[in-house]
Copies of this chain bind each other. A is one copy, B any other.
Amino acid sequence: MYFDSAATSFPKPKKVIKGVEEVLVNKFGSYNRSSDTELGDLIYLTRKKIADFFNIRFANSIVFTQNATESLNIVINGVLAEGDEVITTATEHNSVIRPLLKLSKERNLKVHFVECNNRGFIDQNKIIELINDHTKLVIVNQGSNVTGAIQEINKVSEIVSNLSNSYLLVDISQTAGHINVDNQVLKADFLAFTGHKGLMGIQGIGGLYINPEILISPLKVGGTGVLSELLVQPHGTPIHYEAGTPNIPGISSLFWSIDFINEAGLNNIEEEMFTKNKYLHEELLKRDSVELYSDPNAIGITAFNIDNLVPSRTAHFLLENFDITTRSGLMCAPFIHEFLNNGPFGCVRVSFSHFTSYEEIDYLLTAIDKIIKESKKNSNINIPTEYELPSIYTWEEDINE
């Protein structure tokens, strides 16, 4: 039984599998390379569907990447120059933290991480207080992959969109496909997303919206099929950022998965996910042995620990004794746990998708009850005691070691 859809959604809609297979069996050639053009239509129409899905005007401002990590690396490396300031949050994923801190050394950046509360919510005023003339980039994780907290940043986006030399990058990896991301409202200059989570495409495809007024240095350059005579990467989005053969199976999966979401209705999905997740939260709140770190959310994420069981042990029992796949630990988000106050081992995360049933959630609850009952027998083994969590207050010491 699968409770790790925040890592990658499962199952995929049947029309996605069928669409990918159709491409692999029947669509030959390489985009912008082979003499036929049918693949060009597929790629353009998928960009258009994604643009419409996020209420973005130009299909060509959607760039395809390998995953959200690549999208975030493109923006962070492309936008930030020597001495720039960056404001971001304690809820960020390592796909933001690592490129940012690597670059902070190479380009002498000033990086601020604002705190979150014990459910992963930030106070957007804390970002606003830090904005100044040197602020080049504000990066916000719209939905926490640990707690499912969805950030309100309307005031931040209003302010940044009116600054001529500051940009807003929103990581929508966990929210895309779960809640309505309307960029006419969000006003982000960059939206980084992955295809295989809430968007229900396959692994290996992600994307990046780039405000068409902005041209940044690409992360990688190379063949573009057309314009081969140019010794530099051609300008213009998306070609400037898409070197090499594109991932046609991955792109085609998004062509079909966004159809699936549109047919099911994003509002329906959001409401259903929230209601199911609220049910799970309410049930867990009744158990004294469970400590919760999340509030009900439409992303379908629930974060908790059981008594004093190390989270990896809980995840192990869920898998070995009940065949339930979850995730545990820090989940690539090292800073948030300081504020959740769950210790250096993080927590257990269960997360579901549109397809998860109440029967499955009840089975999960029964399994948790059995683990609680046996928790005194389920002792922790070999816990290293010197283990330390990194902190938003002391990270500079860590990276200079």
Q: Which residues of A approach B to under 8 Å, CB–CB?
A: 2, 4, 7-8, 10-12, 16-17, 20-21, 24-25, 28-30, 33-36, 66-70, 72-73, 77, 93-99, 101-102, 194, 196, 202-206, 219-225, 228-233, 243-250, 315-316, 318-319, 325-334, 344, 346, 387-390, 395, 398-399
Contacts of A231 in B (CB 8 A): 97-98, 101, 334, 390, 395, 398-399
Please name all residues of chain B whose beta carbon is closer than 8 Å to the beta carbon of A390 when the two chains form the complex. 229, 231
22 contacts between A and B (CB under 8 A): A7-B33, A8-B34, A20-B21, A20-B249, A29-B325, A34-B327, A94-B223, A95-B244, A98-B222, A98-B233, A99-B222, A101-B231, A102-B221, A202-B249, A206-B244, A222-B332, A223-B332, A229-B330, A229-B334, A230-B334, A231-B395, A232-B399
**Whole-angstrom CA separation of A327 from B228 in the bound complex:** 13
B245 touches A247 (CB 8 A): no
Copies of this chain, count: 2
Q: Please, which residue of chain B has its CB at the minimum distance from the CB of A67?
A: B244
Q: What's the nearest-Cβ distance from chain B to residue A336, in Å?
A: 11
Q: Closest CB-CB distance, A105 to chain B, in whole Å?
A: 9
- With both beta carbons as reference points, the residue of chain B lying nearest to A399 in the complex is identified as B231
The CA of A178 and the CA of B382, in the complex, are separated in Å by: 51
Complex alpha-carbon distance, A70 and B222, angstroms: 9
